[in-house]
Amino acid sequence: MLKPSTFSQRSWGWLLGVVAVGFVVWGSMKDAEAVPRILRPHNRPWAYQFSIGATGVAGGSGNIGGFDVSFRGGLYGHISNVIGAHFNGRGHGPALGGALDLYFTDGSVLLVPGARFWWDIPIARMAIYVAPFLQAGLAIGATNGFALGVDIQFGVEGKVVLNKRLLLTLKPIAFDLQVVGSTGGGGGIALLFNVEFFHVGVGVVF
C-alpha cells in the first residue's frame, strides 16, 4: 500500500502538471483570440493601392542638352498606382504587379509605367506587413522637350489590412534612380538619384 504522504505528493505533482498544461493551452487560445477581428489575416491574393507623397533630389546633373531638370532641385509631388497578386494565391508572400507613377511640379511631368516585385512579410500573425519592393519601368517626360529613359525604385513599405479588405500603406523612405535622355536643345542625358519619403496610401485587397 502507498503511504498517505507518498500518495499526496504524487497527487499534487499530477495536479500541478495538469494545471500547467491547462495554462499553456489557455494561453495559446487567448493569444489567438487576442488578435482583433479588424486585424485578422486574409487570403485575398490581389491588391490595388494608390499612394501620394513627396520626393526630393539627392543628386542630379542640372540642365543637360536642353533637358530641364531644374524641377528636381527641391521637393516635387509623386503619385503611385500599383496592382498585382501574390504567387501563392494568398494574402502574403512574394507578389508581382504593374505600376504607374506620376511625378510633377512647376509644369514638368514625368510618367513612369513599369513592373513591381514585392514581398509581404506578416508581423505577429496579424494583417500587418513589412514589404520590401523593387520596381523598374520607363520614364516618359515633358519638360524642355520630350524625355525618355529608365527608372528603378527600391525601398520598404509598411502595410495594414483592415477587416480583410481595406489596405493602408506607409512608405517611410525609398530610393529612385532615373537615367533620362532628352530631345530638346540638341539632346542629352540626365542621371538623377532621388529620395522618396513619407508616402501614404490606401487601397483594397480582393
Q: Residue with C-alpha cell 494545471?
A: 19
| CATH class belonging to 40-205 | mainly beta
Percent of the chain with pLDDT over 90: 49
Residue 82 CB partners (closer than 8 Å, separation 6+): 47, 48, 49, 51, 97, 98, 99, 116
Q: Is the CB of residue 145 less than 8 Å from the CB of residue 183?
A: yes
The mean pLDDT of the chain is 79
Helix (H), strand (E) at residue 140: strand 126-143
Average pLDDT over residues 37-58: 89
Average pLDDT over residues 111-127: 95
Q: Which pTM value belongs to this model? A: 0.75
Is the predicted pLDDT of residue 95 greater than 80, yes or no?
A: yes
Average pLDDT over residues 4-16: 51
What is the pLDDT, as a whole number, of residue 44? 96
What is the pLDDT, as a whole number, of residue 54? 86
Q: Lowest mean pLDDT: which of 109-113, 151-155, 157-161, 176-180?
A: 176-180
Is the predicted pLDDT of residue 101 greater than 70, yes or no?
A: yes
- What is the widest separation between alpha-carbon atoms in the chain? 107
Q: How many whole angstroms from its chain centre is CA 153?
A: 12
Is the predicted pLDDT of residue 161 greater than 60, yes or no?
A: yes
Is the predicted pLDDT of residue 186 greater than 60, yes or no?
A: no
Residue 5 pLDDT class (50, 70, 90 cuts): very low
Average pLDDT over residues 30-38: 70
Is the predicted pLDDT of residue 71 greater than 50, yes or no?
A: no
